[in-house]
Amino acid sequence: MSFSMQKVFFSCFIVVVTLLTGLLMKSGQTQAGGPPKKLDAGITEARRYWGGRVNVVGAEQAYAEFKDKYRENPPVAHIIAHVVGDLMYENVGSTALTICDDAFNYGCFHQVVSDTMVDEGSPGLAQLDAFCGQKSDKEMDNCYHGIGHGVLGFFGPKHLTDALDGCATLRQSSSCEAGAFMEYYVPLIIDGTDRSTQVRPMDAKKPYAPCDTAQIQERYKDSCYVALPHWWMQRSLEVKEVAVLCHGLPERSVRSCVEGISVDLPGSVNFDNAKVIAACGTISDLTDRKYCLSASARMIEDFKKDACPIWAYLGEHRKQCG
């Protein structure tokens, strides 16, 4: 798939991408012809370097080199992992699915899943269903989540229902639905020279739309509700405001909504435990506050960073904290 085309890029943890928008749009800097290492390394420069490595040493070796070079900075690496995944897909097609792994929050893996779906449509959906269905539980969730982004990329936001119906044919539909809704609210578009999040406009009088409308069938509403906090925070709502809005949802969805704050919060404060504690502390409801903190701690650990101060604050012992 040509990088000159507009393409849908995504992440379970898209907040990191959003925070680095300005940094990544700057021109890249390389060291002695090596890969860009600084935070201002551009998408175009990264594509130039890693495209060369894929062509010279092959997709598998280039991916191994990428993981070694960027392991010191997971947030940046997640974005570049999408670029590398795209290059690998151009080189070896959907075989790249067997090369990508969970490094940097599945950036490479998600990209190849999306490329396959956008390129192949319904036949690709059946292929991806078979592939994802063989994964372990956590990998399976991420795999189907990636399909959701790709499904909406294939059908387009005006055909959200068609994308959701595509998810419904899969063995694990809920993660696919969540990916589709995330892509609907906050798609990430890259065309080779810049990147931007096209955050869907929000009507303050209708903060739950389209989840609470007839457009979304009842069986898809829970997945829609879960995606709302990410959208609200991308529209600059504060943590305490998001928590209040969560209580306007059906009771069964309130907890998952509050926990959804963790998609954006940790990255927005550079994974600073004290700032996460302070932000969740603005929530008036004590139970909601705990949901916010525990989900954020798990998110921080997913980025392979220390969340022990949060667990200690919650009074919960964790083996990794000694």
Q: Is 2 helix (H, G, I), strand (E, B) or coil?
A: coil
**Domain boundary at 171, 200, 229, which?**
200
Structural domain that includes position 307: 202-322
Check if the beta carbon of residue 20 is closer than 8 Å to that of residue 76: yes
In this structure, are 238 and 140 located in the same domain?
Answer: no
Tell whether 189 and 217 lie within a shared domain: no
Q: Which 8-state DSSP code applies to residue 209?
A: T
Nearest to 75 by CA among 103, 47, 98: 103
Q: pTM for this structure?
A: 0.76
Q: What is the pLDDT along the chain (322 residues), one digit of tens a residue?
A: 332 322 333 334 333 333 333 333 333 333 335 655 443 347 788 899 999 999 999 999 999 999 999 877 666 777 789 899 999 999 999 999 999 988 887 789 888 888 888 888 878 888 899 989 998 887 898 889 888 988 887 888 899 999 999 999 999 999 999 999 998 998 764 444 444 457 899 999 999 999 999 999 999 999 999 999 999 999 999 999 999 999 999 999 999 999 999 999 998 898 999 999 999 999 999 999 999 999 999 999 987 899 999 999 999 999 889 8
Which tokens is 75 given?
């947030």
* 113 and 101 part of one domain: yes
How far apart (Å, rounded) are the C-alpha atoms in residues 302 and 162?
Answer: 32
Question: Please, are residues 266 and 300 in contact by the beta-carbon 8 Å criterion?
Answer: yes
175 to each of 56, 168, 223, 235, 282, how far by Cα in Å? 36, 10, 8, 23, 30
Residues 145 and 221 in one domain: no
The number of residues in the chain equals 322
